[in-house]
Structure 1
Amino acid sequence: MLRALTSRQRAVDIAIAVVLVVVAVAYSTVYQAGYVRLADLAIALGMGFALALRRLSPPLALLLVWFMAVLQMLLRQDPGLADLAVLPVLYSTAAYGTPVLRWLGFASTFLGAALATLYTVVVPALLTYATPLTILRGIRAGQNAELLSVAQGTVVVFVGGLAVFILSWVLGVLTRAFSRSEASREAQHAAENDRLLAEQAVIVEQERNRIARDMHDIVAHSLAVVIAQADGARYLYTAAGIHGEPGETDLVDESLTTIASTARSALADVRVLLGELRHNDSSAPQPGLSALDALADHFRSTGLAVERRTSGAHAALGAPRELAVYRIVQEALTNALRHGDQAKPVTVSLDWATTELWVTVTSTLPAAAPAGGSLPGHGIPGMIERATLAGGSLAAAPSGRLFVVSARLPVPAPSTPAPNDLVVA
């Protein structure tokens, strides 16, 4: 029966009720030549209390208003400003009440208008101006002026009172409908945000899986090379007949054995941890920087104009970072094909520096593209994830009519082999 209200809402309702009581009592005091009757004070306090309860408990507020209205009629008190509390109470029954209370409030508008008309027009007129004897004489004489006056006043007061009561109730219904509409829009907005977050999570997870499969192939190949080199070195060392002093531990053979066994263990661990992500991927070599020209030709065959630009001295990135560059360019060109203006060329720039490589893909947005912010659902989270795992960073955002994808990847420092290093093919 009691609704949850904030402290501010309760304070506002109480303040409004206090103002109504003070104004109603002051009006009664002026109207009655400087004093207020106890009945007027009681009616004002009761109506003010109902007004304070209108949002906290609409059923109690409606019940209290009816009680005070009946008491006012029994005490034969004139209507006053305190009776204005009826309007917000009717509003609250429609805006905050249950379906049953809402329809009780609707019924109260008709019943209240009828009782107000009887109390303020019909009964006083019959008792004062149009007694039954006067009405009977007028009917006999064919003159019903008094009865006509009472009828006209009855219709005017009833229709006017009903209109005011109905208006308050209808405003409550409209407020309730608006609140529900706002709640529905907020729920839809929250659901849309959840959907976008779920899609982004799926994109990131898919990209993580693909990166894991790519890294599995690369790491497995590298570990296989380490194992082969270690075993080959052991074979050459044994075949050369190079041994230490009798009784001493052969540290070289032991070190090579440790390297080979550790690499085999690591290879097994990698396959166990990442093997479930492989699915049915092709066993072809992973693409790198050398495959960017073929990638550009592929998109040119679809009607997308692709321009390649390279500046700076080319350096060795390593298979993982080359694969990251290829995937980022591939995704950016796919976005440009699907969502960009295909009448404008797409520029793919590779800018080499000493310690980093900048990859920039610039496309033109269509005229109807949304202004500001990155475009959702276009693989951007996956590109950011791939660049991050490669040790770099990526940004993708509109710049005027252009959409720019800019990735920074670190360039590993070149290693200089020692002149006496043994390389076994």
Structure 2
Amino acid sequence: MRTTLERMIRALLPRQYAIDGAVGALVALLCLPFALRGNFIEPWVVLVVWGSLSLRRASPGIALTISWVAVIAQMAFGASANAYNVAIPIILYATARYGDGWVRWYGLISAVVGGLVASAYTVLVTNTGVTANAEALPILVFATVAGATAGVVVLGLSWTLGQLMRTADAARQAGYERFRARQAQSLAERATVVEQERGRIARDMHDVVAHSLAVVVAQADGARYVHKGDADALARTLETVSDTARHALGDVRLLLSELRHEQEAGPQPGFADIDNLVETMRSAGLMVSYTLVGTLPDLPTGRQIAAYRIMQEALTNAMHHGEPHRDVEVTVVGSDAGVELIVQNVVGQSAPSRGTDLSRGHGLPGMRERATLAGGTLDIDASTPGWFRVIARLPIA
């Protein structure tokens, strides 16, 4: 367990210790000429001031105690207030700024009591020749009260400023923690969306693999009956088996180990369903301009499903966030290397700024996950003001 002394001393960086020591030494050097012209005790008080200022952040409670011991010694030897007494407000600020629990209350009580005592002492020392004069008594009383008020205000303001800075730091820290929490929540939401998208991909791949294996089994069974009498039929059968198995193997490689095994059955869309998708979106009120460039290649079934789903999600986003009376331009470019999908639309006035918030939507991580698992890429382009563009590229290999 930590001792009481260890709990009273804050751990600082070596650089902070060096800065505090240098500040204390600077104040002591600046005040030393004034101390040398005063009482013999005052140079020693300056040394104490150096030590207390050096400890003001590491241990505000100890620094304040040392300072009051020095002030008491100063008053005991009849020394007047001097420049080095500026250390008291600085240390009171540190008790509120860095102190915990009782140290802060210690600083507040010291500000009030110290202001009263210091002002009364200053008035009495500076007016020792008139204390016996009855006519001057009201003036002394007024000066003592005014000085006490001023002392309490000055020291109290130092402590209050430290408390305000402490509160501001706490508010900044709380804001940073809220920012971290929002970041963690955003990451969790994105992970959930990606996981959901993987589940949907698993359902797609389930039918791809089931269909391919069914074809392989049927062709293999047929080959047992035709291979003796028809060599050409056997060759065609084996070629079909090889092609089907090769495509199925490519689709299986798209699966991740985390994907679910039990999936829903049902036909899966591909390139042949893109025209129906466009017509469906038009019937829903979306103005779609569809252009096919070149010839769609013979992509494996898994990549065709990925292309269809990406276009479907992009058109849905355009319907939700785009300008309702402007065309959504859809371009599909087919080549020997693969297929490129481009969906661009005018961003509506109520849509959030895409240039700085591309990662928050639930559809974008899902589309990117599909493209990645299909061996392709997906890019988001919001560089043109007022336009939002989704570009997906899926290779044949």
TM-score by length of 2: 0.87
Counterpart in 2 of 1:7? 14
Aligned equivalents of 1:233, 1:44: Cα separation in 2: 105
CA contact (8 A) 1:48 1:82 kept: no
Counterpart in 1 of 2:107? 105
Match 1:195 to one of 185, 188, 194: 185
Aligned equivalents of 1:364, 1:332: Cα separation in 2: 13
1:23-34, aligned counterparts within 5 Å?
23-29=30-36, 32=37
Counterpart in 1 of 2:391? 406
Counterpart in 2 of 1:379? 363
Please tell me the residue identity of whatever aligns with 2:91.
Answer: V
Q: How many residues align?
A: 371
Aligned equivalents of 1:241, 1:352: Cα separation in 2: 38
* 1:97-121 Cα shifts (integer Å, max 9, x gaps): 1132112211111101111111100
The Cα of 1:37 is off from its aligned counterpart by 5.4
Structure 2 counterpart SS, 1:117:
helix
1:64-75, aligned counterparts within 5 Å?
64-75=66-77
Aligned equivalents of 1:367, 1:166: Cα separation in 2: 53
Counterpart in 2 of 1:180? 170
CA contact (8 A) 1:346 1:362 kept: yes
1:327-366, aligned counterparts within 5 Å?
327-366=309-348
Aligned equivalents of 1:338, 1:106: Cα separation in 2: 59
CA contact (8 A) 1:43 1:72 kept: yes
User: Taking structure 1 as reference, are residues 354 and 334 closer, same or farther at Cα in structure 2, changes over 3 Å only?
Assistant: same
* 1:251-302 Cα shifts (integer Å, max 9, x gaps): x9xxx9xx99xx8xx99xx89x7894444x3x33101122222222332233
CA contact (8 A) 1:335 1:378 kept: no
The Cα of 1:123 is off from its aligned counterpart by 5.4
Structure 2 counterpart SS, 1:357:
strand
Counterpart in 2 of 1:397? 381
Counterpart in 2 of 1:288? 270
Counterpart in 2 of 1:49? 51
Where does structure 2 lack aligned partners over 5 or more consecutive residues?
A: 1-7
User: Taking structure 1 as reference, are residues 64 and 274 closer, same or farther at Cα in structure 2, changes over 3 Å only?
Assistant: closer
Aligned equivalents of 1:241, 1:150: Cα separation in 2: 130
1:306-317, aligned counterparts within 5 Å?
306-317=288-299
The Cα of 1:318 is off from its aligned counterpart by 2.5
Aligned equivalents of 1:227, 1:98: Cα separation in 2: 77
Counterpart in 2 of 1:83? 85
CA contact (8 A) 1:200 1:381 kept: yes
CA contact (8 A) 2:107 2:159 kept: yes
The Cα of 1:41 is off from its aligned counterpart by 1.3
Please tell me the residue identity of whatever aligns with 2:111.
Answer: T
1:107-146, aligned counterparts within 5 Å?
107-122=109-124, 124-125=126-127, 127-131=128-132, 134-135=133-134, 144=135, 146=136
The Cα of 1:332 is off from its aligned counterpart by 0.9
Provide the identity percentage.
38
CA contact (8 A) 1:387 1:409 kept: yes
* 1:391-423 Cα shifts (integer Å, max 9, x gaps): 2111113122111100111135xxxxxxxxxxx
The Cα of 1:156 is off from its aligned counterpart by 2.6
The Cα of 1:353 is off from its aligned counterpart by 2.5
User: Taking structure 1 as reference, are residues 378 and 402 closer, same or farther at Cα in structure 2, changes over 3 Å only?
Assistant: farther
* 1:203-226 Cα shifts (integer Å, max 9, x gaps): 111112221221121012112211
Structure 1 counterpart SS, 2:382:
strand
The Cα of 1:322 is off from its aligned counterpart by 1.1
User: Taking structure 1 as reference, are residues 164 and 198 closer, same or farther at Cα in structure 2, changes over 3 Å only?
Assistant: same
User: Taking structure 1 as reference, are residues 17 and 289 closer, same or farther at Cα in structure 2, changes over 3 Å only?
Assistant: same
Aligned equivalents of 2:97, 2:71: Cα separation in 1: 22
CA contact (8 A) 2:359 2:365 kept: no
CA contact (8 A) 1:213 1:274 kept: no
CA contact (8 A) 1:199 1:377 kept: no
User: Taking structure 1 as reference, are residues 351 and 377 closer, same or farther at Cα in structure 2, changes over 3 Å only?
Assistant: same
Aligned equivalents of 2:39, 2:225: Cα separation in 1: 119
Larger radius of gyration: 1
* 1:215-242 Cα shifts (integer Å, max 9, x gaps): 121012112211211121012236x499
1:219-298, aligned counterparts within 5 Å?
219-237=209-227, 240=229, 276-279=260-263, 281=264, 283-298=265-280
Match 2:29 to one of 22, 30, 34: 22
CA contact (8 A) 1:216 1:274 kept: no
* 1:68-115 Cα shifts (integer Å, max 9, x gaps): 111111121121121111111111111111132112211111101111
Counterpart in 1 of 2:302? 320
Aligned equivalents of 2:260, 2:340: Cα separation in 1: 33
* 1:187-207 Cα shifts (integer Å, max 9, x gaps): 111111111111111111111
Please tell me the residue identity of whatever aligns with 2:368.
Answer: I
Counterpart in 1 of 2:144? 154
Where does structure 1 lack aligned partners over 5 or more consecutive residues?
A: 136-143, 243-251, 413-425
* 1:25-83 Cα shifts (integer Å, max 9, x gaps): 12333xx2xxx754111101111111110100111111111111111111211211211
Match 1:208 to one of 168, 178, 198: 198
The Cα of 1:122 is off from its aligned counterpart by 3.5
Please tell me the residue identity of whatever aligns with 1:10.
Answer: Y
